[in-house]
Structure 1
Amino acid sequence: MFRILVRGLLLMLLTGAVNAAPVFVFTAIPDQDETQLKLRFQKIADYLQEELQTEVRFVPVKSYAATITAFRNNQVQLAWFGGLSGVKARELVPGSIALAQGIEDPEFKSFFIANSSTGLMPADSLPESVRDLTFTFGSKGSTSGRLMPEYYLRETFGESPNDVFSRVGFSGNHSRTIALVESGAYQLGALNYKVWEAAVADGNVDTSKVQVIWETPTYPDYQWTLRGDMDAVYGEGFSDRVQQALLKMTDPELLRSFPRSGFIPASNDDFEPVRKVAKAVGLLD
């Protein structure tokens, strides 16, 4: 009798281990340094784990391209993407869906900043005097730090950035762009306006050395994207539960991680303008 009970218990444990849902993993584009990313998103992991009642883990990545690769390879199932990285990821993983975006994301914008030594002042358009200065984008795969700034540079000057500026670089992330322009390593740069505003509010920018000289027209940007096969893995309705958890995230401390004032529903069609611009600029086949 004892042996039967033991066998039954072992069978239950083994069956439970087999049927246990795998860890739900998410990541985010590295628009700031890795330390900041971990601080920002571990709290989000804890929140999602409580809401979804399944183990949730945040995994940082080193580059925008690595974020897309991790999503394509199912190393992560959910990602906080920028507009361009989200479009690329969804094209690589058919059936994946944009679930939610920040309230600010349908009308996002980029700031062009300049070192005070240039003498450039805020204006309604980019002046001809930026020619032959040095300029840095953020990451090569960034929507707000590369794609849209390049699009508007080409629209303004009718030339590629390499033909407009004496030197063009890629800082890697928005925080680094601020630091490089503030220090004078580059005279100009373009970045995500939310990162700029947060850095200024936190006292991390010397506005006597660097300031915003122009802001782009608005465009759709960041969003949460989920792989399309999640209901088959975690159970019917799981995708809806993930979306609802994101939409009802109202804790100000959690929202500061992005930073956003809240989240609203998103769809793949919302980012069609980004896809068209990426094709026009040559960043998407």
Structure 2
Amino acid sequence: MFLRAALTAAALVLAGLSLAGAQTFYFSAIPDEDDTALKTRFDRVAAYLEEELGVDVAFLPVKNYGASVTAFRNDQVQLAWFGGLTGVQARLATPGARAIAQGVEDQSFVTYFIANEATGLTPSESFPQEMRGHSFTFGAKTSTSGRLMPEYHLRQETGEAPEAFFDRVGFSGDHAQTLRLVASGAYEVGALNFSVYDKAVEDGLPEVETAPIIWKTPPYPDYNWTIRGDVDERFGEGFAERVQQALLDMDDPDLLASFPRSGFVPAENADYAPIEAVARELGLIE
């Protein structure tokens, strides 16, 4: 009887270990491009992480920026590639969560203001007050580079809300769409992150020909990899550090180009204190 009980207990322990080992590590990302581009980018990242970590890894797409925060808070994903603001929101909503890495370029990120060539607006070192009265589109409502920082600088430079300064204000939903809308003339002016625009230039997209850059913001911290605080309990002691090291060791030029980033460096929550402060000032977080 004792032997049978012992064997049963051992079998249960082994089954538990097997189930723990079979857990899938999920990650997501803010949808700053269209679905096809995101899947291409992050399925490759999943394959890389799976090989480095020795666990099943899967990318979970989300429909919008808010959904990425919700998925992280609800433990549908344990890791996420957030913008500055969404990272702050996710960490505030998830005790123990922490930023572990950011792109080299994210230490000094900038937003480009672009204008349809028909407006006659030209590049300027100072904030282009001549944008007044034109139609304008941000990116997503909770995008750091597509809304938070451009609105902050707009208010700082004009003393006005966007709705007072511009004739019409919209939200495109993502940076690539902002470029398309301004290039087509659907909106006369827009704001998007520099990396999306620079990649469009590199790829020879025709939109850049009709939507030139007219101003860029001062630098600020932006995108980051944020991980939940309970991953070590579920995937083993030191797992969070292993994830961080895998991200820091990512050196495949093709993989990095899909972000696009030249590499990743360590990050911590305190790096994003300026983003949190601006978001509170604009009432985007309480």
- TM-score higher than 0.5 here? yes
Q: Match for residue 144 of structure 2?
A: 143
Q: Match for residue 265 of structure 2?
A: 264
Contact (CA 8 Å) 2:138, 2:190: kept in 1 or not?
A: yes
SS of aligned partner of 1:217: coil
Q: Match for residue 169 of structure 1?
A: 170
Q: How many angstroms does 1:127 deviate by?
A: 2.4
1:203-242 matches, within 5 Å, as 203-242=204-243
- The one-letter amino acid of 2:176's match is S
Q: Distance in 2 between matches of 1:30 and 1:18?
A: 31
Q: Match for residue 200 of structure 2?
A: 199
Q: Distance in 2 between matches of 1:233 and 1:129?
A: 55
Q: Match for residue 99 of structure 2?
A: 98
Q: Match for residue 131 of structure 2?
A: 130
Q: Match for residue 185 of structure 1?
A: 186
Contact (CA 8 Å) 1:21, 1:234: kept in 2 or not?
A: no
1:155-211 CA-partner distances (Å, limit 9, x unpaired): 011010000001000000000000000000000000000000001110123333110
- The one-letter amino acid of 1:223's match is N
Structure 1 residue ranges, 4+ long, deviating more than 6 angstroms after superposition: none
Q: Match for residue 273 of structure 1?
A: 274
Q: Distance in 1 between matches of 2:100 and 2:11?
A: 39
Contact (CA 8 Å) 1:231, 1:237: kept in 2 or not?
A: yes
Contact (CA 8 Å) 2:20, 2:235: kept in 1 or not?
A: no
Q: How many angstroms does 1:15 deviate by?
A: 4.5
Contact (CA 8 Å) 2:99, 2:226: kept in 1 or not?
A: yes
Higher mean displacement: 34-43 or 13-22:
13-22
Q: Distance in 2 between matches of 1:75 and 1:232?
A: 16
- The one-letter amino acid of 1:216's match is T
- The one-letter amino acid of 2:275's match is V
- The one-letter amino acid of 1:169's match is G
Q: Match for residue 18 of structure 1?
A: 19
Q: Distance in 2 between matches of 1:239 and 1:208?
A: 44
Gaps of 5+ in 1: none
Q: Distance in 2 between matches of 1:19 and 1:262?
A: 31
Q: Distance in 2 between matches of 1:16 and 1:78?
A: 22
Gaps of 5+ in 2: none
SS of aligned partner of 1:207: helix
- The one-letter amino acid of 1:110's match is T
Q: Distance in 2 between matches of 1:182 and 1:15?
A: 56
Q: How many angstroms does 1:243 deviate by?
A: 0.4
Q: Distance in 1 between matches of 2:79 and 2:32?
A: 17
Q: Distance in 2 between matches of 1:240 and 1:16?
A: 21
- The one-letter amino acid of 1:241's match is R
Contact (CA 8 Å) 2:180, 2:207: kept in 1 or not?
A: no
1:26-37 matches, within 5 Å, as 26-37=27-38
Count how many residue pairs are aligned between Structure 1 and Structure 2: 279
Q: Match for residue 85 of structure 1?
A: 86
SS of aligned partner of 2:226: strand
1:120-170 CA-partner distances (Å, limit 9, x unpaired): 000012222211100000000100000000000000110100000010000
Contact (CA 8 Å) 2:33, 2:174: kept in 1 or not?
A: yes
Identity %: 56
SS of aligned partner of 2:262: coil
Contact (CA 8 Å) 1:247, 1:264: kept in 2 or not?
A: yes
Contact (CA 8 Å) 2:179, 2:207: kept in 1 or not?
A: no
Q: Distance in 2 between matches of 1:126 and 1:178?
A: 20
Q: Match for residue 118 of structure 2?
A: 117
SS of aligned partner of 2:191: strand
- The one-letter amino acid of 1:257's match is S
Contact (CA 8 Å) 1:103, 1:261: kept in 2 or not?
A: yes
Higher mean displacement: 150-159 or 126-135:
126-135
Contact (CA 8 Å) 2:136, 2:188: kept in 1 or not?
A: yes
